[in-house]
């Protein structure tokens, strides 16, 4: 099975994955639904199915690993990448999808979503008009281990009873994945099956082909009821089956009893301090005028970042960013650099770098003045955008204006590396800042600033969710090729 699985593990981008998935598949059997730029999702709907309802299989094309596995080995039945992460989460799911599209194309709806690992942007934006009417249940193929069915509250009593009748699979507490995101949007039940990857999100990740085969066998032998009705979840109370939680009730009580008083006090104090920091930041941001905030941000930018030879230390190039620069930019001759010192891209070697810095980035002057200094070439074949560039801009409109201006300044299909500060969209810390500043602005009768701002030691920082970055790039005619999501995040996109 090593030879069969290798192409799936070596595929890098969403389009690479789609290409491998569709190989040897008769696409005439499917109606294909995809987003406008074909970068967020693809849904394959069988044309010749005799059933009104079909199970909908959900996988994702992205992985947390950004290095292509050059050599994959079989070590005692475990498929591994000696150099680091394999990408089996969720290429194992993609392989299962491919297998069933060949064996039973008329029996399932097949979904591939992008950006599951960084906010589930694909499943959040997917067109559900058809599948919400014809999907009987959403089945995620995105769980570690084998013989497990993950549940997360998107089920009903009838479905639980049906799942308990399946041999060799146990019901356990599930973790977030695209299938549950679609369930939330549609009201249809969802589960998540284990697909044979282990130690995911780490360099020690490996895959067990036997476990993949086990899940394929389960899907080929699902109870007939999955093709006869639509399972919708409700808030009804029913008996949770034993083993639903990944931790037993006894072990949960035991861990609580063993937690020391010191740990409880520490956690409480940490929560209080974090709460106070968020409240303080929200109060300051709400109290100051938007123009004052922009002036302070510009002053800070000019003082610490503009033409600063120590910018490389501040920007902190990660190994991933260095690799992406080497992979994407070493064949380029003229690179446009915004918001950072040319020193930060010394890794590119002998490239003609055209540094550019803007001093007063406001929505009024972006289009007219943003390229007025330092740019001699008419067209560039790449661009690198530093950490503070997007943070400096006051609103989404000005950021989109900048990105569109960059798109006009670079050759088609040229790479753009964008660095940004990341925040989780469900972060209670940033939500508190937003609500406090919103209340202050409401009392003042002024317009609210965007969510994601934070003040620390007279320094204003702007944090973005991946959905915000993705949306702004998408609406500025860029396609995201790959990305790295941490507190200090990067994306590489192409026009």
For 226-270, the pLDDT digits (tens) are: 999 999 986 554 444 444 433 322 333 333 334 456 566 767 787
C-alpha 208/C-alpha 225 separation (Å) is: 30
Calculate the CA dihedral of residues 290, 292, 295, 299 and round it to 10 degrees. Answer: -130
* 370 or 462, greater pLDDT: 462
pLDDT, residue 307, reads 38
Look at residue 191 in the predicted model and tell me its pLDDT: 96
With CA atoms as reference, report the closest residue to 91 among 11, 154, 31: 11
Q: For the residues 81-106, what does the mean pLDDT come to? A: 94
Q: Give the tens place of pLDDT for each residue, 382-414.
A: 787 776 677 767 678 878 888 888 888 888 888
Three-state SS sequence of the chain:
CHHHHHHHHHCCCHHHHHHHHHCCCCHHHEEEEECCCCCCEEEEEECCCCCCCEEEEEEECCCCCCCCCCCCEEECCEEECCCCCCCHHHHHHHHHHHHHHHHCCCCCEEEEECCHHHCCHHHHHCCCCCHHHHEEEEEEEEEECCCEEEECCCCCHHHHHHHHCCCCCEEEECCCCHHHHHHHHHCECEEEEEEEEECCCCCCCEECHHHHHHHHHHHHCCCHHHHCCCCECCCCCCCCCCCCCCCCHHHHHHHHHHCCHHHHHHHHHHHHHHHHHHHHHHHHHHHCCHHHHHHHHHHHHHHHCCCCCCHHHHHCCCHHHHHHHHHHHCCCCEEEEECCCHHHHHHHCCCEEEEECCCCCCCCCHHHHCCCCCCCCCCECCEEECHHHHHHCCCHHHHHHHHHHHHHHECCCCEEEEEEEECCCCCHHHHHHHHHHHHHHHHHCCCCCCCCEEEECCEEEEEECHHHHHHHHHCCCCEEEEEECCCEEEEEEEC
Q: Mean of the pLDDT values across residues 63-73? A: 86
Candidates 436, 450, 90; CA nearest to 283 is 436
Assess contact for 158 and 198: CB atoms under 8 A. Answer: no
Assigned token pair, 96:
């299962």
Of residues 339 and 283, more confidently modeled: 283
CA-to-CA distance for 54 and 188, rounded, in angstroms? 12
- Cα-Cα-Cα-Cα dihedral sign, residues 336, 408, 302, 395: negative
CA pair distance 6, 111, nearest whole angstrom = 21
Q: Are 404 and 246 in contact (CB under 8 A)?
A: no
Q: CB count, 10 Å around CB of 76?
A: 5
Q: Which tokens is 378 given?
A: 């008419």
- Quote the percentage of the chain above a pLDDT of 70: 72
In this predicted model, which residue has the larger pLDDT, 359 or 178?
178
CA distance 175 to 196: 16
Phi/psi of residue 384, nearest 5 degrees: -125, 120
Name the architecture of domain 2-227.
3-Layer(aba) Sandwich (3.40)
Domain range annotation of the chain = 2-227, 289-423+465-494
In the structure, what pLDDT confidence band is assigned to residue 315 with cuts at 50, 70 and 90?
very low
Q: What is the mean pLDDT of residues 9-21?
A: 92
Q: Which of 17-26, 289-298, 341-350, 358-367 has the highest mean pLDDT?
A: 17-26
| The pLDDT of residue 32 is above 60 | yes
| pLDDT band, very low/low/confident/very high, at 326 (cuts 50, 70, 90) | low
> Residues 25-38: what's their mean pLDDT?
94
Which CATH code fits 289-423+465-494?
3.40.50.150
- Confidence bin at 186 (pLDDT 50/70/90): very high
CA angle 118, 382, 389 (to 5 degrees): 60
Q: Give percent of the chain above pLDDT 90.
A: 33
Q: For residue 43, which of 155, 122, 117, 137 has the smallest C-alpha distance?
A: 122
Q: What angle do CA 297, 488, 277 make, to 5 degrees?
A: 60
């Amino acid at each position: 099975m090593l030879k069969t699985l290798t192409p799936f593990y070596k595929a890098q981008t969403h389009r690479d994955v789609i290409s491998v998935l569709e190989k040897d598949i008769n696409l005439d059997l499917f109606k294909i639904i995809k987003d406008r730029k074909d970068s967020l999702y693809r849904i394959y709907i069988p044309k010749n199915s005799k059933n009104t309802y079909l199970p909908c299989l959900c996988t994702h094309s992205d992985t947390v690993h950004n290095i292509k596995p050059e050599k994959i080995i079989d070590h005692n039945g475990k498929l591994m990448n000696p150099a680091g992460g394999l990408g089996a989460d969720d290429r194992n799911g993609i392989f299962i999808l491919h297998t069933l599209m060949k064996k039973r194309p008329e029996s399932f709806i097949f979904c591939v979503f992008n950006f599951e690992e960084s906010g589930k942007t694909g499943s959040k934006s997917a067109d559900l008009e058809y599948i919400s009417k014809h999907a009987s249940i959403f089945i995620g193929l995105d769980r570690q281990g084998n013989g497990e069915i993950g549940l997360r509250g998107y089920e009903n009593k009838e479905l639980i009873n049906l799942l308990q009748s399946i041999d060799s699979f146990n019901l356990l507490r599930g973790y977030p994945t695209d299938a549950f995101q679609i369930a939330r949007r549609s009201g249809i039940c969802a589960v998540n099956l284990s697909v044979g990857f282990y130690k995911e999100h780490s360099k020690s990740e490996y895959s067990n082909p036997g476990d993949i085969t086990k899940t394929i066998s389960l899907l080929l032998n699902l109870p007939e009821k999955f093709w006869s009705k639509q399972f919708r979840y409700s808030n009804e109370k029913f008996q949770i089956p034993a083993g639903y939680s990944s931790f037993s009730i006894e072990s949960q009580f035991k861990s609580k009893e063993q937690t020391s008083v010191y740990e409880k006090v520490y956690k409480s104090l940490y929560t209080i301090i974090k709460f106070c920091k968020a409240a303080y930041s929200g109060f300051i941001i709400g109290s100051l005028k938007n123009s004052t905030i922009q002036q302070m941000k510009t002053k800070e930018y000019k003082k610490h970042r503009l033409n600063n030879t120590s910018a490389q230390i501040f920007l902190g190039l990660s190994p991933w960013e260095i690799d992406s620069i080497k992979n994407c930019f070493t064949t380029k001759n003229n690179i446009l650099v915004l918001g950072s010192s040319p020193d930060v891209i010394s890794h590119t070697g002998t490239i003609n770098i055209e540094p550019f810095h803007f001093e007063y980035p406001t929505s009024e002057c972006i289009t007219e003045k943003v390229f007025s200094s330092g740019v001699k070439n008419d067209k560039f074949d790449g661009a690198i955008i530093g950490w503070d560039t997007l943070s400096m801009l006051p609103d989404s409109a000005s950021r989109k204006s900048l990105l569109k201006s960059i798109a006009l300044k670079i050759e088609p299909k040229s790479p753009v590396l964008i660095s940004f500060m990341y925040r989780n969209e469900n972060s209670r810390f940033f939500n508190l800042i937003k609500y406090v500043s919103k209340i202050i602005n409401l009392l003042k009768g002024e317009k609210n600033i965007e969510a994601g701002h934070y003040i620390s030691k007279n320094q204003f920082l702007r944090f973005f969710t991946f959905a915000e970055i993705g949306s702004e790039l998408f609406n500025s005619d860029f396609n995201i090729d790959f990305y790295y999501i941490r507190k200090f995040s990067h994306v590489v996109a192409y026009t």
